[in-house]
Amino acid sequence: MKSRFTNRSPWLGFVAGVLTGILLAYVILIYAANLDVLLTANPLIDHRPSDDADTWVWKSIQALRFFAGIASGAVAAKWSPPRSWGATIALFCLVLVVNIFALFPEHHSPLRLAIWMLAAPLGLIAGKLLHSRINRALPEAVDPAEQPD
């Protein structure tokens, strides 16, 4: 008898990816807020280091967004049917829509805007490809009851 928790579907992959993304986005938000408090000497100054694209804080947040995308893409691939791109493409579109309606960074360099816009979506694709590659490299599990004597 097959467990109902081993069934994979694109919707399950999408929901798992969204929940992973929300959790990691919250962690990144807390990270950015704590760094802003620690690095801002005067809390009355209206400047946050995480908003300035010239600081290491902004660059580290973009790296975290990329790695959060990798995690979300891998989780979505894990809970989706094998070789299915449905959940990953849906997450990719969702992240692009969220990015379009989000506040853009203060820096208006096209390269930095592209990094900001594509960090999480490219992470999703990388996570899906990484999961697929790891899954392909692992041997298939064989049920001991089905092995011939």
CB-based contact 49:55 (threshold 8 Å): yes
Domain boundaries, the chain: 8-132
Backbone φ/ψ region at 83: left (φ over 0), alpha (ψ -120 to 50), beta: left
SS3 1: coil
Q: For the chain, how far is it from start to end, CA to CA, in angstroms?
A: 23
Angle at which helices 56-79 and 110-137 pack, to 10 degrees? 30
The CB-side HSE value for 113 (13 A sphere, CA atoms) comes to 9
Q: Which residues of 49-73 are buried (b: 16+ CB within 10 A; e: fewer)?
A: bbbebeeebbeebbebbbbbbbbbb
* Per-residue pLDDT in tens (0 to 9) along the chain, 149 residues: 454 556 788 888 999 999 998 899 888 888 777 776 666 655 555 556 666 777 777 888 889 999 999 999 999 999 998 888 999 999 999 999 988 888 777 777 888 888 889 999 999 999 999 999 988 877 765 545 555 65
Q: Give pTM, 2 decimals.
A: 0.78
Locate 57 and state its tokens.
Answer: 């804080």
